[in-house]
Amino acid sequence: MAWTLAEIASKIGAELIGDANKVITGVGTLQNATADDISFLANSKYRHYLKETAAGCVIVSPADAAEVSTNALVIADTYVAYAKTASLLYPEERTDIGIHPTAVIGTDTVIADSAKIAAQVVIGTNVSIGENVDIGPGCIIENGVAIGADSRLMANVTLCRKVRIGNRVRIHPGVVIGADGFGIANDKGHWLKIPQVGSVVIGDDVEIGANTTIDRGAIDDTIIGNGVKLDNQIQIGHNCTVGEHTVIAGCVGIAGSTHIGANCAIGGGTGIAGHIEIADGVQLTGMSMVTKSITAAGTYSSGIPIEPTREWHRNVIRYRQLDKLHDKVKQLESRLK
């Protein structure tokens, strides 16, 4: 879509410096943007591109406005402003096909007239699909599922039995919600499957990245709160809860019965043990390993950052000698006493 700078400034609440009638049709980086694009500066290491960019406009903070050689939209949070601008220029495309003739729909299922059902979708019995829901090709929606208004499932999403999806939820390709959790009991060396009788409840305004899996509860439901954003390839075990507006980056694994608070940020590759609690406002840096509850807000890290292999080998050897060193220190302390 095309917007004038005056229209964009009004929509995002920015101060406009330059040509109000300039038409913008796309976005671009400071290095590669054209005269029809808008760009932004959110990271100071790219500041040197401001004077030479060919962008038709740049979104900048007040501190950087004087450095811009083209039109500028001035606002405190440039990254949020860019996100809003990009949403204006690239509105979400929605299909307009009604119910495709290849869709299979079970009995006692209610589908709003405004919903869109693509090819090869299979919908079970007693399903409820709300207004303006858009279901992509190849999706599987099992019995008893409910999907709230304005939600969208991309291709090949699976919603297992009795899953509840809120309003304005975005679920990307390959996601599986409500598969059985890893519930097994050892009977004299043989593993017995424990029936998983709970389900999954997804709140409003949630986004779930491609190939993420969220297991159904063993007894109670697994719950994902309002506004949660999940990246690709995340595993959330049975009976977990994720608090409102928490964000989780890719390849995070969360074991069962873990309770994560609101407004948390969990870095990629983090592993979280089961049956623990994480307080509101916790930030976990990437590749952290969480094995016990975190009771206070703050930033937490674990793991060893990358270093040259020779130094890493030397430090590992020293780490393995810590027990011997500890014993020697104890012996010396005893002698001193």
- Catalytic positions are 238
Any bridge partners for residue 215, and if so which? 179
Residues with Cβ within 8 Å of 312's Cβ and at least 6 positions away in sequence, in order, are 304
Q: DSSP letter string over 163-227?
A: -EE-TT-EE-TT-EEEEPP--EEEETTEEEEPP----EEE-TT-EE-TT-EEEPPSSSPEEE-TT
Q: What are phi and psi of 222, to 5 degrees?
A: -80, 135
Instruction: Count CA within 13 A, CB hemisphere, residue 165.
Output: 36
**Residue 265 DSSP label:** E
Alpha-carbon distance 58 to 17, whole Å?
10
Q: What are phi and psi of 218, to 5 degrees?
A: -70, -45
Query: What's at 335, amino acid-wise?
Result: R
The CA–CA distances, whole Å, from 164 to 33, 96, 171, 200, 221 equal 42, 24, 13, 6, 10
The burial class, CB within 10 Å (0-12 / 13-18 / 19+), for 114 is middle
